């Protein structure tokens, strides 16, 4: 967190001397960083742009007066001339049948990265196919956005459902006139690659699309792993990607779990919507910490919460690609979280939703969404905008994500919800820059399989019995069984599919059971638990009709003297507790019923 006032000259010198992101990450200056890519807002109160029917202030570029995002022409000059398009098949692997996920994943890797990522891609492919995906990997170089989209359309016809872009690959740009006062926006638009059949046009032939018509909803999901803008050189980029795939594997295999909870951190301009947005996050995370008091939401407080173990974070704050700018009342810029502070903190979170201007503008050096996912220990996916605006209607994202959709699928579902009934100009300005930085195939890992039942009901001899067990986590459906010579009372049966114990018990006593459950994962997990079922009887109810009366005495006399049926169970007739079933029990019972004698006492 850097102070708003002072240190300007010293910070500029510091940036020039230190130079690379890796060095920044190892330092902890509390200085104001000013210059290209380290913009900060002025102390003037901002214009609160809305341009939406909800009256929600738009995320604002938090840069000093005169700073601006890297534009299309500037980016194109840095990128150099287009090179011939090439995509060569590197690997193809079929899915493991019956696994959790399904579909075809196309992985496109910049050719320069392939050799350094071979072992990482092998492990990634094994993880994906184990989950049910079919995987094809292509080494790619050169090309235009149009050529890449054509290639993806061909893969889509073959059954591809989503794509992962790794490294420097063609970028589609879009332009629009947005906000009030009107500002010209030009920005990367990954929706171009997600939409397989819509019509995209560049009406003024300036290299930026400006019209999108037809069927505009996405058919596929997409995520990109772009580490180059964060690395000093190619070796550094490869090292960051290798570490990313290491984290990815640990997460998928449950070796590095975080707590099943979320942090919802909302700065001043959006405090009126905090309860609603927090509730939307609750569609995925019932356990969440919400911070939205204007005096509280400052950089130091936000940074202090990043190591506290939240699986997911929703952050709503004005930003630039390389910083967050926090306010305090009344509408005063207070403090900043800079990009180099993120890897230094190494947040304990996997999934980010960055409602933060231009945080996912992956063409900028040291873009924040990249640093969140390329930290050392955690961080796997961050959704944000490559421009002003960001996600609204959070429920249309967290609902699918909480119901089992992957991060990429949930973003595609959200796009479909936003654009399914057509798109207005304000919606283009808010939504078209939305980008997923990270692996789009990641879903919430199921909780560890565990039996959640703690007891089974007791029963009565000869009476209908029903007990049902429950479990959570793992991958349903479950299979249940009795283990270690556990035996149910005679008359009861165990349904291994529905985890139900039912029947009419004809054996009395306490029955200790050990019960196991196994899930349906490719590599199954299991849990066991101990239970006791007590089957009792009504002492003196020799005829098992639920009452103790003269009928039971007659029943006992018939059994003892006339060879009639025995008491059910036999113990029910031994009313004097001497462990012998004879005429004394009938006399004892008659005394109890007619003369106020002592009650039946069975052994």
Say if strands 509-518 and 133-141 run parallel, antiparallel, or are unpaired.
Answer: unpaired
10-residue stretch averages of pLDDT, the chain, 603 residues long: 36 31 30 33 57 92 80 92 93 75 92 97 96 95 97 97 97 95 94 97 97 97 98 97 97 90 97 97 95 97 98 97 96 95 98 97 97 98 96 97 94 97 94 98 86 96 96 87 95 96 96 95 86 95 92 92 92 91 92 92 89
In this prediction, residue 47 carries a pLDDT of 56
Q: Nearest 5°: phi and psi at 322?
A: -120, 10
pTM > 0.75: no
In this prediction, residue 36 carries a pLDDT of 31
In this prediction, residue 22 carries a pLDDT of 33
> How many angstroms separate the CA atoms of 266 and 314, rounded?
8
In this prediction, residue 43 carries a pLDDT of 46
CA-CA-CA-CA torsion for 587, 590, 591, 592, nearest 10 degrees? 120
Residue 398 burial by CB count (10 A; 0-12/13-18/19+): exposed, middle or buried? buried
> How many angstroms separate the CA atoms of 359 and 356, rounded?
6
Q: Which domains does the chain have, with CATH numbers?
A: 2-438 (3.40.50.1460), 450-536 (2.60.40.10), 538-603 (1.10.1330.10)
| 3-class SS string, 322-384 | CEEEEEECCCEEEEEEECCHHHHHCCCCCEEEEECCCCCCCCCCCCHHHHHHCCCCCCCEEEE
Q: Is the peptide bond before 477 cis (omega within 30 degrees of 0)?
A: yes
Instruction: Look at residue 288 and give its three-state secondary structure.
Output: strand
Q: Nearest 5°: phi and psi at 140?
A: -130, 145
Contacts of 566 (CB under 8 A, 6+ apart): 559, 573, 581
Helix, strand, coil distribution of the chain in percent, nearest 5: 30, 25, 45
In this prediction, residue 263 carries a pLDDT of 98
């Amino acid at each position: 967190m850097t102070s708003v006032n002072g240190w300007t000259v010293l910070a500029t010198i510091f940036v020039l001397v230190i130079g690379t992101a890796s060095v920044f990450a190892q330092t902890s200056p509390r200085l104001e960083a000013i210059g290209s890519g380290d913009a900060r807002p002025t102390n003037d109160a901002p214009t609160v742009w809305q341009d939406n029917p909800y009256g929600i202030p738009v995320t604002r570029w938090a840069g000093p007066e005169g700073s601006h995002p890297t534009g299309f022409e500037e980016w194109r000059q840095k990128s150099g001339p287009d090179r011939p398009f090439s995509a060569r098949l590197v690997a193809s692997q079929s899915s493991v049948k019956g696994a959790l996920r399904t579909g075809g994943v196309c992985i496109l890797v910049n050719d320069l990265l392939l050799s350094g990522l071979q072992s990482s891609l092998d492990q990634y492919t094994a993880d994906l196919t184990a989950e049910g995906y079919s995987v094809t990997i292509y080494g790619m170089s050169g090309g235009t956005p149009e050529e890449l989209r054509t290639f993806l359309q061909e893969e889509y016809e073959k059954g591809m459902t989503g794509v992962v872009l790794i490294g420097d690959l063609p970028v589609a740009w879009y332009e629009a006139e947005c906000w009030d006062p009107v500002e010209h926006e030009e920005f990367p638009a990954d929706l171009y690659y997600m939409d397989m059949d819509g019509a995209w046009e560049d009406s003024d032939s300036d290299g930026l699309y400006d019209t999108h018509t037809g069927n505009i909803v996405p058919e596929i999901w997409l995520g990109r792993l772009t580490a180059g803008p964060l690395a000093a050189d190619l070796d550094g980029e490869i090292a960051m990607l290798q570490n990313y795939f290491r984290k990815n594997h640990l997460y998928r295999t449950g070796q590095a779990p975080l707590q099943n909870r979320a942090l919802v951190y909302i700065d001043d301009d959006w405090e009126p919507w905090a309860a609603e947005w927090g509730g939307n996050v609750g569609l995925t995370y019932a356990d969440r910490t919400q911070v939205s008091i204007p005096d509280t939401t400052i950089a130091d407080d936000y940074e202090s919460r990043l190591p506290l173990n939240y699986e997911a974070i929703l952050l709503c704050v004005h930003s630039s690609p390389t910083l967050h700018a926090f306010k305090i009342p009344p509408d005063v810029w207070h403090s900043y979280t800079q990009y180099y502070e993120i890897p230094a903190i190494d947040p304990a979170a996997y999934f980010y939703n960055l409602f933060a201007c231009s945080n996912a503008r992956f063409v900028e050096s040291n873009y924040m969404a990249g640093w969140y996912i390329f930290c050392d220990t955690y961080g796997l996916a961050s959704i944000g905008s490559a421009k002003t605006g960001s996600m609204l209607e959070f429920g249309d994202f967290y609902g699918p994500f909480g119901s089992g959709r992957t991060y990429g699928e949930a973003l595609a579902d959200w796009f479909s919800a936003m654009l399914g009934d057509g798109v207005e100009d304000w919606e283009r300005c808010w939504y078209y820059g939305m980008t997923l930085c990270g692996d789009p195939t990641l879903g919430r890992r199921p909780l560890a399989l565990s039996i959640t039942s703690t007891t089974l009901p007791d029963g009565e001899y000869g009476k209908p019995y029903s007990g049902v067990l429950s479990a959570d986590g793992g991958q349903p459906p479950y299979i249940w069984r009795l283990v270690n010579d556990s035996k149910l009372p005679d008359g009861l049966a165990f349904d291994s599919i529905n985890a139900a114990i039912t029947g009419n018990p004809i054996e009395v006593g306490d029955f200790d059971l050990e019960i196991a459950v196994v899930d349906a994962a490719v590599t199954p997990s299991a849990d066991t638990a101990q239970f006791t079922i007590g089957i009792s009887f009504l002492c003196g109810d020799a005829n098992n009709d639920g009452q103790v009366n003269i009928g039971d005495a007659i029943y006992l006399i018939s059994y003892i003297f006339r060879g009639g049926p025995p008491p059910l169970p036999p113990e029910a007739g031994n009313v004097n507790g001497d462990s012998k079933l004879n005429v004394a029990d009938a006399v004892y019972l008659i005394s109890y019923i007619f003369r106020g004698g002592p009650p039946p006492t069975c052994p």
